Protein backbone atom coordinates (compact mmCIF):
# COMPACT_ATOMS: atom_id res chain seq x y z
CA UNK A 1 0.00 0.00 0.00
CA UNK A 2 2.95 2.33 0.57
CA UNK A 3 4.15 1.83 -2.97
CA UNK A 4 0.65 2.44 -4.27
CA UNK A 5 0.35 5.69 -2.32
CA UNK A 6 3.85 6.96 -3.13
CA UNK A 7 3.94 5.87 -6.77
CA UNK A 8 7.29 4.13 -6.49
CA UNK A 9 9.77 3.36 -3.73
CA UNK A 10 13.23 1.84 -3.49
CA UNK A 11 14.31 -0.76 -0.96
CA UNK A 12 15.99 1.80 1.29
CA UNK A 13 12.76 3.82 1.51
CA UNK A 14 10.75 0.72 2.35
CA UNK A 15 13.31 -0.25 5.00
CA UNK A 16 12.93 3.16 6.62
CA UNK A 17 9.14 3.26 6.38
CA UNK A 18 8.57 -0.27 7.66
CA UNK A 19 11.56 -0.45 10.02
CA UNK A 20 12.50 -3.83 8.54
CA UNK A 21 15.76 -5.32 7.30
CA UNK A 22 16.92 -5.19 3.69
CA UNK A 23 16.78 -8.99 3.20
CA UNK A 24 13.20 -9.17 4.45
CA UNK A 25 12.06 -6.27 2.24
CA UNK A 26 13.87 -7.72 -0.78
CA UNK A 27 12.33 -11.18 -0.27
CA UNK A 28 8.83 -9.74 -0.17
CA UNK A 29 9.45 -7.54 -3.21
CA UNK A 30 10.76 -10.55 -5.13
CA UNK A 31 7.54 -12.44 -4.43
CA UNK A 32 5.39 -9.51 -5.53
CA UNK A 33 7.43 -9.21 -8.74
CA UNK A 34 7.22 -12.96 -9.33
CA UNK A 35 3.42 -12.70 -9.42
CA UNK A 36 3.55 -9.54 -11.57
CA UNK A 37 1.99 -7.30 -8.92
CA UNK A 38 5.04 -5.02 -9.00
CA UNK A 39 7.30 -3.83 -11.75
CA UNK A 40 10.71 -2.30 -11.29
CA UNK A 41 12.78 0.43 -12.82
CA UNK A 42 16.55 0.55 -12.58
CA UNK A 43 18.30 3.84 -12.05
CA UNK A 44 22.04 3.33 -11.84
CA UNK A 45 22.64 0.81 -9.10
CA UNK A 46 19.20 1.36 -7.53
CA UNK A 47 15.89 -0.30 -8.24
CA UNK A 48 12.56 1.45 -7.78
CA UNK A 49 9.37 -0.57 -7.43
CA UNK A 50 5.84 0.42 -8.44
CA UNK A 51 2.49 -1.26 -8.95
CA UNK A 52 2.59 -3.05 -12.28
CA UNK A 53 0.82 -0.70 -14.73
CA UNK A 54 -0.29 -3.67 -16.86
CA UNK A 55 -2.41 -5.22 -14.11
CA UNK A 56 -5.96 -5.95 -15.22
CA UNK A 57 -8.51 -3.35 -14.12
CA UNK A 58 -10.13 -5.76 -11.65
CA UNK A 59 -6.78 -6.19 -9.87
CA UNK A 60 -6.22 -2.44 -9.77
CA UNK A 61 -9.72 -2.00 -8.33
CA UNK A 62 -8.91 -4.49 -5.56
CA UNK A 63 -5.65 -2.71 -4.75
CA UNK A 64 -7.42 0.66 -4.67
CA UNK A 65 -10.10 -0.68 -2.32
CA UNK A 66 -7.52 -2.34 -0.08
CA UNK A 67 -5.47 0.86 -0.08
CA UNK A 68 -8.45 2.91 1.06
CA UNK A 69 -9.22 0.47 3.87
CA UNK A 70 -5.57 0.22 4.97
CA UNK A 71 -4.92 3.96 4.90
CA UNK A 72 -5.21 4.47 8.69
CA UNK A 73 -2.95 1.47 9.31
CA UNK A 74 -0.04 2.82 7.27
CA UNK A 75 0.10 6.27 8.86
CA UNK A 76 3.11 5.34 11.00
CA UNK A 77 4.98 3.98 7.98
CA UNK A 78 4.19 7.13 5.99
CA UNK A 79 5.42 9.22 8.91
CA UNK A 80 8.66 7.20 9.07
CA UNK A 81 9.10 7.77 5.35
CA UNK A 82 8.51 11.50 5.68
CA UNK A 83 11.22 11.69 8.36
CA UNK A 84 13.77 9.86 6.21
CA UNK A 85 16.94 11.85 5.73
CA UNK A 86 18.30 12.24 2.22
CA UNK A 87 15.29 10.62 0.64
CA UNK A 88 16.18 9.88 -2.96
CA UNK A 89 15.17 12.04 -5.85
CA UNK A 90 13.71 9.97 -8.62
CA UNK A 91 16.28 11.37 -11.07
CA UNK A 92 19.24 10.81 -8.75
CA UNK A 93 20.85 7.89 -6.95
CA UNK A 94 19.05 6.48 -3.96
CA UNK A 95 20.45 6.69 -0.42
Q: How far apart are CA 73 and CA 63, in angstroms?
A: 15
pLDDT value, residue 91: 63
Residue 11 is predicted with a pLDDT of 94
Task: Give per-residue burial for 51-90: e unless 16+ CB within 10 Å, then b.
Answer: bbeebeeeeeeebeeebeeeeeebeebeebbeeeeeebee
pTM of the model: 0.83
> In order of start, what are the domains of the chain with their CATH numbers?
2-82 (1.10.10.10)
pLDDT digit of tens for each residue in the chain (95 aa)?
A: 889 888 999 999 999 999 999 999 999 999 999 999 999 999 887 899 999 999 999 999 998 898 887 777 788 898 898 888 887 777 644 44
In sequence order, what are the residues at sequence separation of 6 or more whose Cβ sits closer than 8 angstroms to the Cβ of residue 78? 2, 5, 17
Amino acid sequence: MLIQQEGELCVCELMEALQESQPKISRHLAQLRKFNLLSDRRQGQWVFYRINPSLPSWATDILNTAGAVQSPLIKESLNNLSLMRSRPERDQACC
